[in-house]
A and B are shown apart, each in its own frame.
Chain A
């Protein structure tokens, strides 16, 4: 609550009530006052209030009528009625029609008012949090739905390919060509395995516990390149590293590994085989505060239309030989979680540059 003052709109046709309220509470609350219900509505159009206080007896419109009027349009604000007379029918109306949260008796007592406002704000805050959480859940649910839809396809597709190849192989009498089919099955199974590994990475990144540690970038790059050496295309590409690290940089090892693994693998997979010297140039500049990382390659490059979409889940640019559409999504998620940024510049046929900036995670 300390981050922002509670904002209050107080409507009363008697100016001196407004004045004395302001005098008592102006230090702790952000107070707006007006003597007119018409003006009150105009003010509410422009600014959101946590709590609305209204006097019951006003000329033209009572406090309850005012609340009844604004309730559906401004449902978030918590309503408190101030009344000088304990009038039971007004109280019933206030609850049933105006849905007020509290009554305050005139002349009001400082502590009582303070309490009412504090509780009103608690309700406001809880409702806002609930709303936010519902939105988050809705978003998570939609993502899950999309995830299941795409993942089930991507899990089944390679299996169906394998079945298709098996069907074909069964029709084949020439034993020689069976090997060709076996090789296709192998490729399809590998594709499926890569997809499953990606899903596991995604899960680790999204739900996994952070493992903050000192990062040795040279070591990290060595580990990652060691792990992808088996890729058939790896031999052809020249990996150039230029690492300068001063001091100790703390970050999440798992996430950095995911980022490096995906970006290096992509450069390897999408290298331009027609070029004489396919390369990936990795430049790292690490200080204790933050690290700048650049992945530059002279690979196939990315189409202009695709550049902004490559970080979307299951977006696959290009049709042939493309991946699962998860890799760069995970990279983006991981960088966002590390509170870093990633920028891409790419020219089709020339190559791509990924620039990453990550702040140090304070242990």
Chain B
């Protein structure tokens, strides 16, 4: 049986949000999807939900106007442990910049850096592990 997950998507591209949402539901791994086109909004949402937040998978874009992916992580780090423990963050980016890749790997909160376009099969197998 396929496990289903609750997702938060953060990406400034409306296209990409649309694509991820479709892919997630089509592949059958999505229980719910919340999409944000600004990282700040997603952060506000996390704070607001607090204890009510279900275990959530976050797909986080890197390069965004306003707050970028790494800045989101810095703010995320300040959240209470109980909230942080409920989330699994994967960074999703088209970056090929080695500095970005190193930084993503070094981050305690980013489980993995996945390259765009999202390979839903890959994500599925990662999440099922």
Contact = CB atoms under 8 A, between A and B. Distances in A.
A152 interface: yes
A304 interface: no
Contacts, number: 71
B65 to A, nearest CB: 4
Contacts of A318: 65-66
B38 A319 contact: yes
Contacts of B118: 164
Interface residues of B, number: 26
A161 B19 contact: yes
B65 A168 contact: no
Contact of B13 (A152, A161, A163, A315): A161
Nearest to A316: B65
- Mostly, the A contact residues are helix
B63 interface: yes
Interface string A308-324: 00000001111111100
Contacts of B38: 319
A110 interface: no
Q: How large is the interface on A (under 10, 10 to 19, 20 to 34, 35 or more residues)?
A: 20 to 34
Interface stretch (B43-51, B94-102, B104-112): B94-102
A152 B98 CA distance: 13
A160 B20 CA distance: 12
Contacts of A321: 14
Contacts of B13: 157, 161
B6 interface: no
Interface string B15-26: 110111011001
B9 to A, nearest CB: 12
Interface in B26-43: 26, 37-38
Given A161-B19, A188-B15, A153 B64 contact: no
A315 B64 CA distance: 10
A163 B96 contact: no
A320 B14 contact: yes
Given A317-B65, A319-B38, A152 B26 contact: no
A176 interface: no
A168 B64 contact: no
Given A188-B15, A320-B14, A168 B22 contact: yes
A222 interface: no
A168 B21 CA distance: 10
Contacts of A319: 12, 37-38, 64-66
Contacts of A231: none
5 contacts: A160-B116, A161-B13, A164-B16, A168-B19, A320-B12
Given A161-B116, A318-B66, 10 more contacts: A152-B97, A153-B94, A161-B117, A168-B22, A168-B23, A168-B26, A316-B65, A319-B38, A319-B65, A325-B65
Interface of A: 149-150, 152-153, 156-157, 159-161, 163-165, 167-168, 171, 184, 187-188, 315-322, 325
Q: State the 4 A-B residue pairs at the shortest beta-carbon distance, nearest first.
A: A164-B117, A316-B65, A160-B116, A164-B19
